[in-house]
């Protein structure tokens, strides 16, 4: 295997997912040189995350893609809350602060495609696919990284290395940062089907004594269904559960994606060690119930871009700024984790169904409705 030495840049980003590409766009717009290393050779086509909340959409406007993302999305302005098949009330999001009083629904692969297109406009060749990180290190003045790519081993030097490489982050592990957490005792089935409901662009939440059913519109006439269940990942089984808990029929033969998952929660001890910085799932993993994870990573990136810019402008590491970044963003992740845990608690099989119904009614009524609308959309 050949070796190419002395590839130098200001910032080396490991992970070419939504957080890594977004951070690169922010930095390049400030004339900061960066390289993004992504292990996957081809873009993902799996629609994992679908929700983009208003604070994250404001962050996407900073790199000029908010309008493009909106154009390819469904705008969710209303959430319908049911007890079984019976409507309890509606939660309206259009009372949230402008300019984005809605939540967007868009498959993650489409969001990533828009980000990659923007990154290629700003810096063609910045994203390098098929690069596998071998090792990381740092000195007082420089961060180093060795990656394998095709038949070569490439050595990089940078002022900063940012790990946006997810739950199994090699950057985090290479920096010996503890990552503490565990799985929840919950299990979910998730699938995308043709939308034959009367809900239009509304989300729908069905509280059931046997576990929650969540339903979200998708572009292209599809609808995502998420159910609390440990059943096998089969379209017929998911359709059966949805019908039994909601009276909503869905055609199992229209399924385009099916998966089962158990939520986790993990958090790094710190998000900055010298010249190595963590962002997104490499630093914190929260339950996907509520759709906050990708949004949280973009807000990390927005903060860390400001810190890196200041450090480079003044040619100084500024450890207090990096410690403050870690403190603020870990605190934000803890808040997001608690929001997700509340959502999960509401969706578990109810020991006292009347209690869940009462809470759901309160959520949709004044004066609580405005508070919960902001809470569920990550505002404040």
Q: Each residue of 15-38: pLDDT tens digit?
A: 999 999 999 999 999 999 999 999
CA pair distance 247, 227, nearest whole angstrom: 14
Residue 76, beta-bridge partner list: 103
* Architecture of the CATH domain 75-106+187-261+355-380: 2-Layer Sandwich (3.30)
CA pair distance 188, 185, nearest whole angstrom: 10
Give yes or no for a contact between 10 and 101, defined as CB atoms under 8 angstroms apart.
no
| Cis peptide bond prior to 367, omega within 30° of 0 | yes
| pLDDT score of 122 | 98
| pLDDT score of 6 | 54
Q: Which two tokens stand for residue 332?
A: 């934000």
54-61 vs 293-314: helix axis angle to the nearest 10?
Answer: 40
CA pair distance 36, 112, nearest whole angstrom: 14
CA pair distance 193, 177, nearest whole angstrom: 41
pLDDT tens digit string along 210-247? 999 999 999 999 999 999 999 999 999 999 999 999 99
Give yes or no for a contact between 145 and 158, defined as CB atoms under 8 angstroms apart.
yes
Contacts of 214 by beta carbon, 8 Å cutoff, 6+ apart: 203, 204, 205, 206, 224, 225, 226, 227, 289, 347
- Give the start-to-end residue ranges of the domains of the chain: 2-50+107-181+264-346, 75-106+187-261+355-380
CATH value of 2-50+107-181+264-346 in 3.50.50.60, 3.40.50.300, 3.30.470.20, 3.40.50.2300: 3.50.50.60
Give SS3 for 227: strand
CA pair distance 79, 84, nearest whole angstrom: 15
Which residues, given as ranges, of the chain have pLDDT below 50? 5
* Segment holding 328, helix H or strand E: helix 319-347
Q: What is the DSSP letter of 301?
A: H
Strand 78-83 relative to strand 203-207, pairing? parallel
First to last CA, the chain: 52
CA distances from 202 to 104, 244, 249, 258, 265 (A): 11, 21, 17, 22, 29
| pLDDT score of 64 | 98
In which residue are the tokens 């998730």 written?
Answer: 190
Give yes or no for a contact between 264 and 184, defined as CB atoms under 8 angstroms apart.
yes
Residues across the chain: 380
| pLDDT score of 2 | 53
> How many H-runs (helices) and E-runs (strands) does the chain carry?
10, 21
Same fold, 2-50+107-181+264-346 and 75-106+187-261+355-380: no
Strand 179-183 relative to strand 213-218, pairing? unpaired
Q: State the SS3 of 2-70.
A: EEEEEEEEEEEEECCCHHHHHHHHHHHHCCCCEEEEECCCCCCCCCCCCEECHHHHHHHHCCCCHHHHH
CA pair distance 289, 226, nearest whole angstrom: 9
């Amino acid at each position: 295997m050949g070796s190419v030495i002395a590839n130098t840049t200001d910032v080396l980003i490991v992970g070419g997912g939504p957080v890594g590409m977004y951070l690169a766009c922010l930095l390049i717009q400030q004339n900061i040189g960066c390289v993004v290393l992504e292990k996957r050779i081809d873009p993902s086509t799996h629609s994992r995350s679908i929700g983009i909340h208003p604070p994250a959409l404001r962050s996407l406007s900073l790199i000029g893609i908010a309008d493009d993302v909106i154009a390819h999305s469904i705008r969710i302005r209303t959430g319908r809350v049911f007890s079984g098949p019976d409507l309890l009330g509606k939660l309206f999001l259009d009372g949230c602060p402008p300019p984005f009083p809605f939540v967007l629904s868009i498959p993650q692969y489409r969001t990533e495609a828009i980000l990659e297109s923007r990154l290629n406009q700003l810096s063609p060749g910045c994203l390098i696919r098929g690069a596998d990180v071998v090792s990381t290190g740092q000195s007082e003045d420089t961060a180093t990284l060795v990656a394998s790519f095709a038949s070569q081993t490439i050595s990089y030097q940078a002022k900063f290395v940012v790990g946006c490489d997810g739950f199994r982050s090699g950057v985090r592990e290479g920096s010996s940062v503890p990552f503490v957490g565990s799985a929840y005792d919950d299990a979910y089935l998730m699938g995308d089907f043709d939308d034959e409901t009367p809900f239009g662009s509304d989300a729908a939440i069905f509280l059931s004594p046997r576990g929650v059913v969540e339903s979200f519109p998708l572009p292209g006439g599809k609808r995502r269904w998420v159910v609390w269940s440990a059943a096998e990942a089969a379209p017929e089984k998911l359709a059966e559960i949805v019908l039994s808990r909601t009276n909503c029929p869905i055609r199992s033969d229209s399924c385009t994606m099916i998966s089962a998952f158990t939520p986790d929660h993990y958090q790094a001890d710190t998000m900055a060690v010298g010249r190595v910085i963590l962002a997104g799932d490499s630093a914190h993993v929260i339950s996907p119930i509520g759709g906050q994870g990708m949004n949280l990573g973009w807000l990390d990136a927005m903060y860390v871009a400001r810190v890196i810019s200041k450090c480079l402008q003044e040619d100084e590491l500024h450890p207090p700024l990096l410690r403050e970044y870690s403190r603020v963003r870990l605190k934000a992740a803890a808040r997001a984790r608690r929001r997700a845990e509340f959502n999960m608690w509401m969706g578990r099989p109810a020991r006292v169904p009347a209690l869940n119904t009462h809470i759901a009614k309160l959520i949709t009524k004044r004066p609580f409705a405005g508070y919960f609308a902001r809470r569920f959309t990550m505002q404040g």
